[in-house]
Amino acid sequence: MSWALPPLNKPMLQSIKKILINISLLVLIAGCDVSFENSHEIDQDSAIAAIQQQAQRFSQAYMDGDIDALVAVYSDDGIAASSGRDFVAGHTALNQFWVLPSGRSILQHQSTSISLQVNGQYAYDWGYYSGQAAQDGNPLPPFRGKYVIIWQLDDDGQWRMLMDMWNSMPAETPAGDP
């Protein structure tokens, strides 16, 4: 007994052609990295305003001693990298890192962005920070330094720090002093 294909007529050939085209499209789509979740265009001005607001939240939380609010500005896998110390990664470690010594308070803190560029779900921010702390109510000398932050747009639509690097700079000297 032999097996044979029935003769192919024009309507059958058109049906086979449509099936092959659909299969080809499915294979093509399945092989692509297609993500519709965050494929919308990010408005640069809105992103910059949101990041600046997050930077202000960070400074306010630091001055308020609200470590939970401060750490919430970091992404879940956020990293802090200060000069002379190892990387501090994740919320648990960041909570421990940002606890102030007994009697210490932050009187003033601010960051001044020199450049803030948004590129999709990431933003690159660099600039200067300054502030002043107190120990047991007695003001300490002002501090200042420079920073580089990589911001990430999280799944919840909030910009958070993915990488926060900074180092201190010498205190400013009055004009005319060496």
Structurally, how many domains does the chain consist of? Answer: 1
The pLDDT score that the predictor gives to residue 41 is 72
3-state secondary structure of 58: helix
The answer as to whether 59 is a domain residue is yes
C-beta atoms surrounding 114 within 10 Å:
10
Q: Collect the ranges in the chain with pLDDT lower than 50.
A: 1, 3-5, 20, 22, 24-39, 177-178
Note the pTM of the prediction, 2 decimals. 0.74
pLDDT attached to residue 175: 54
**Residue that the structure tokens 């294909």 belong to:** 5
Distance in angstroms (rounded) separating the CA atoms of residues 89 and 171: 29
Q: How many angstroms separate the CA atoms of 91 and 79, rounded?
A: 9
Enter the DSSP assignment of 60.
H
Q: Find the CATH number of the domain harbouring 51.
A: 3.10.450.50
Q: Does any domain span residue 82?
A: yes
Expressed as residue numbers, the domain containing 79 is 44-168
Contact 80, 87 (CB under 8 A): yes
Give the pLDDT confidence score for residue 42 in this predicted structure: 82
